[in-house]
């Protein structure tokens, strides 16, 4: 099957009745040849669907339907659509990006491709097919059965300090030895792996690609080996394992963007067990046909997963102790849920409702919403970052795609030594200024005195290719600006090399940053000494094509950030 879900000749799109607006849009849309439409579908899947949705109804990004209308809270009718903007205006937006966090594509797409995309999004969206439990079973491949795998680790490598690195545009995962900085193994995975997750034991690496392919890699072999694969849909972003005591390595859950659902599998084989739809009503009481599963995390205090449903604004606490009698707690929060992470006690999960400019906090002990915190525009924390603020006590940090600040939110704890900070809980207590918007990740470590932030979605080279480092002992000091592209020693190219996704090593002494270049440009991972902020190593290789996310085994298993 080809990586684009709606290009695949084996799949036939569902046919739905056209509304009047859709019929008008179909008739008024710019003409496209079949070849141009195929190119548009492929680019949209690879570059656009994540933010704008398969059906183009919008989430982190704007609604991109050809024509739409809705009523505001006062009952007034509003309308819009890509047809109103027209081809020329759309070409400029695609080429130059926007201040709201959309990256410029003039150094990624050709002028011809930009023109195709400007016309493609004025045409009625295709509806990709559904994906059932039978479809999952048909796609499931158990390559190495459990009884044929090693009984103990066969290599002498320190598995806790392995980094799983996404090679976005080649559909591969590089496993890099954090001690030697050498590439241990590169394996084929799904296209544009969004995250890597680890089993509770640290033995298994799970990846999920944007094409919905989940890959299970066993680190106990002499060389890491793919032992199973399965597709959970046509488009996906998230997986996590069962981490509660007694359920270690037993289950895996994966969330799909399309179809909107989550799937539960055996943790050591990926055998499909259950599929649950997330279609339904939003927090505003309106039906949504595409409520995608965004981030998923595994609780450390209960046999539960926290599953965030993007478009509905619903947070699901799914009890996996009895799959036949599945118990789910549904918590209203705010649209549109995206990514997030644990506070430092691992009791509260904080998730960005980024189109609502809020962060939702869930108390996983009581199973209730703890707070909805207003923030600046489009919070995007990744997993966020936890540290003890000298004035406000425990805080969790998030950056923003749409504003030039890092927001620090006070989080509660039962520890009596922090009781004096209770008055600040669930408030934004400080905003650290940055040179521009476009942040994707913030990161620190319990042994670090620094907060590292990136700005890869900023259109300016001097921001996109750099990191800011704040001193946690004195946040009033201006941050140190690190030119990651310059430090890599790679030649300057027309296309930006975006410095993205900081990740600490196991002991918190190093920070690894991806320098994400174009598909034909050399990329790199630049490793910094966290104490001195000096370069320790540049990892570059012709096989290191478009590295993005990096996940240290120990920090991922333990949820250290």
Residues 6+ apart with CB under 8 A from 512: 163, 178, 502, 503, 504, 505, 525, 526, 527, 528, 550, 552
How far apart, in whole angstroms, are the C-alpha atoms of residue 369 and residue 367? 7
Q: Determine the pLDDT at residue 22.
A: 52
Q: Determine the pLDDT at residue 178.
A: 98
Q: Where are the beta strands (DSSP E) in 310-427?
A: 314-319, 327-332, 337-342, 348-353, 358-363, 368-374, 385-389, 393-398, 405-410
Total Cβ atoms within 10 A of residue 415:
11
CA-based R_g, the chain, Å: 22
Domains belonging to the chain, first-starting first, are: 20-120 (1.10.760.10)
222's enclosing H/E stretch is none
> What Å distances lie between residue 130 and 141, 190, 259, 469, 553, CA to CA?
20, 19, 6, 45, 34
Total Cβ atoms within 10 A of residue 526:
25
Q: To 10 degrees, the CA torsion angle through 382, 227, 542, 506?
A: 50
Residue 352 burial (C-beta neighbours within 10 Å; 0-12, 13-18, 19+): buried
User: Quick one: which of 241, 257, 249 has its CA closest to 190?
Assistant: 257
Helix pair 111-120, 82-96: axis angle to 10 deg: 150
CA geometry: angle 522, 527, 528, nearest 5 deg: 135
3-class secondary structure, 21: helix
> What Å distances lie between residue 236 and 241, 247, 502, CA to CA?
16, 24, 23
Q: Determine the pLDDT at residue 1.
A: 33
> What Å distances lie between residue 191 and 76, 197, 476, CA to CA?
43, 16, 42
Q: Determine the pLDDT at residue 28.
A: 81
How far apart, in whole angstroms, are the C-alpha atoms of residue 308 and residue 382? 14
Beta bridge partners of 470: 451
How far apart, in whole angstroms, are the C-alpha atoms of residue 336 and residue 353? 5
φ, ψ of residue 503 to 5 degrees: the values are -140, 130
Residues 6+ apart with CB under 8 A from 251: 241, 242, 264, 265, 266, 267, 273, 320
By annotation, the residues acting in catalysis are 48, 51-52, 102, 338, 380
Q: Determine the pLDDT at residue 17.
A: 44
User: Quick one: which of 336, 342, 454 has its CA closest to 50?
Assistant: 336
pLDDT values of the chain reduced to their tens digit, one per residue, 561 residues? 333 333 332 233 333 444 545 555 556 889 999 999 999 988 888 888 878 888 898 877 889 999 988 777 677 777 889 999 999 999 999 988 886 668 788 878 899 999 999 999 999 988 888 999 999 999 999 999 999 999 999 999 999 999 999 999 899 999 999 999 999 999 999 988 999 999 999 999 999 999 999 999 999 999 999 999 999 999 999 999 999 999 999 999 999 999 999 999 999 999 999 999 999 999 999 999 999 999 999 999 999 999 999 999 999 999 999 999 999 999 999 999 999 999 999 999 999 999 899 999 999 999 999 999 999 999 999 999 999 999 999 999 999 999 999 999 999 999 999 999 999 999 999 999 999 999 999 999 999 999 999 999 998 999 999 999 999 999 999 999 999 999 999 999 888 899 999 999 999 999 999 999 877 889 999 999 999 999 999 999 999 999 999 999 999 999 999
Query: Tokens representing 356?
Result: 């609502």
User: Quick one: which of 366, 364, 362 has its CA closest to 352?
Assistant: 362
Q: Do 206 and 239 touch, CB atoms closer than 8 A?
A: yes
Q: Determine the pLDDT at residue 27.
A: 60
326: left (phi over 0), alpha (psi -120 to 50) or beta: beta
Query: Tokens representing 64?
Result: 């991109």
Beta bridge partners of 451: 470
Query: Tokens representing 5?
Result: 């879900």
Could you write out the DSSP letters of every residue in 60-108? SSPP--SSEEEE-TTS-EEEE-HHHHHHHHHHHHHHH--TTSPPP-TTT
Q: Do 440 and 500 touch, CB atoms closer than 8 A?
A: yes
How far apart, in whole angstroms, are the C-alpha atoms of residue 549 and residue 209? 12
Q: Where are the beta strands (DSSP E) in 178-278?
A: 183-188, 195-198, 204-208, 213-218, 225-231, 235-241, 251-258, 261-266, 272-277
């Amino acid at each position: 099957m080809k990586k684009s879900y709606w290009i695949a000749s084996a799949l036939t799109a569902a046919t739905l009745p056209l509304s009047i607006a859709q019929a008008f849009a179909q008739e008024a849309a710019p003409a496209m040849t079949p070849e141009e439409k195929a190119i548009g579908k492929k680019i949209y899947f690879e570059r656009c669907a994540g933010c704008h949705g398969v059906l183009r109804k919008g989430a982190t990004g704007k609604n991109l339907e050809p024509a739409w209308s809705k009523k505001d809270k006062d009952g007034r009718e509003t309308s819009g659509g890509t047809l109103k903007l027209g081809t020329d205006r759309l070409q400029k937006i695609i080429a130059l990006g926007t201040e709201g966090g959309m990256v410029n594509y003039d150094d990624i797409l050709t002028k011809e491709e930009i023109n195709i995309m400007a016309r493609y999004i004025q045409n009625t969206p295709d509806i990709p097919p559904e994906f059932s439990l039978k479809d999952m079973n048909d796609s499931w491949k158990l390559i190495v059965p459990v009884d044929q795998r090693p009984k103990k680790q066969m290599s002498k490598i320190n598995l806790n300090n392995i980094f799983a690195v996404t090679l976005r545009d080649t559909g591969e995962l590089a496993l890099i030895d954090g001690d030697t900085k050498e590439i241990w193994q590169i394996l084929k995975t799904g296209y544009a792996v969004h995250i890597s997750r680890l089993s509770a034991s640290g033995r298994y690496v799970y990846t999920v690609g944007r094409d919905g392919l989940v890959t299970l890699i066993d680190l106990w072999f002499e060389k890491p080996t793919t032992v199973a694969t399965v597709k959970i849909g046509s488009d996906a972003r998230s997986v996590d394992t069962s981490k509660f005591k007694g359920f270690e390595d037993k289950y895996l859950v994966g969330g799909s963007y399309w179809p909107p659902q989550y799937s539960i599998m055996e943790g050591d084989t990926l055998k499909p067990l259950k599929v649950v739809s997330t279609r339904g009503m939003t927090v505003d009481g309106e039906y949504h046909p595409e409520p995608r599963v965004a981030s998923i995390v595994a609780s450390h205090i209960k046999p539960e997963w926290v599953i965030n449903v993007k478009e509905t604004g619903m947070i699901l606490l799914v009890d996996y102790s009895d799959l036949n009698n599945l118990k789910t707690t549904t918590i209203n929060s705010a649209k549109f849920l995206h990514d997030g992470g644990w506070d430092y006690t691992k009791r509260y999960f904080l998730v960005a409702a980024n189109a609502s400019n809020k962060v939702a906090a869930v108390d996983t002990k009581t199973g209730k919403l703890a707070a909805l915190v207003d923030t600046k525009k489009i919070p995007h924390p990744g997993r966020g970052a936890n540290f003890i603020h000298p004035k406000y006590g425990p805080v969790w940090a998030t950056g923003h795609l749409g504003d030039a600040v890092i927001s620090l939110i006070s989080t509660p704890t039962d520890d009596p030594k922090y009781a004096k900070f209770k008055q600040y809980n669930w408030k934004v207590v400080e905003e650290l200024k940055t040179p521009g918007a476009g942040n994707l990740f913030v990161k620190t470590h319990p042994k670090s005195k620094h907060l590292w932030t990136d700005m890869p979605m900023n259109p300016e080279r001097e921001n996109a290719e750099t990191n800011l480092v704040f001193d946690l002992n004195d946040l009033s000091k201006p941050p140190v600006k690190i030119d990651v592209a310059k430090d890599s020693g790679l030649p300057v190219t027309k296309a930006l090399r975006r410095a993205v996704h900081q990740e600490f090593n196991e002991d918190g002494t190093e920070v690894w940053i991806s320098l994400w270049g174009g598909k034909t440009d050399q990329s790199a991972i630049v490793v910094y000494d966290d104490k001195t902020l000096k370069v320790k190593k540049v990892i570059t290789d012709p096989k290191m094509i478009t590295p993005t996310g990096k996940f240290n085994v120990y920090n991922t298993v333990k949820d250290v950030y």
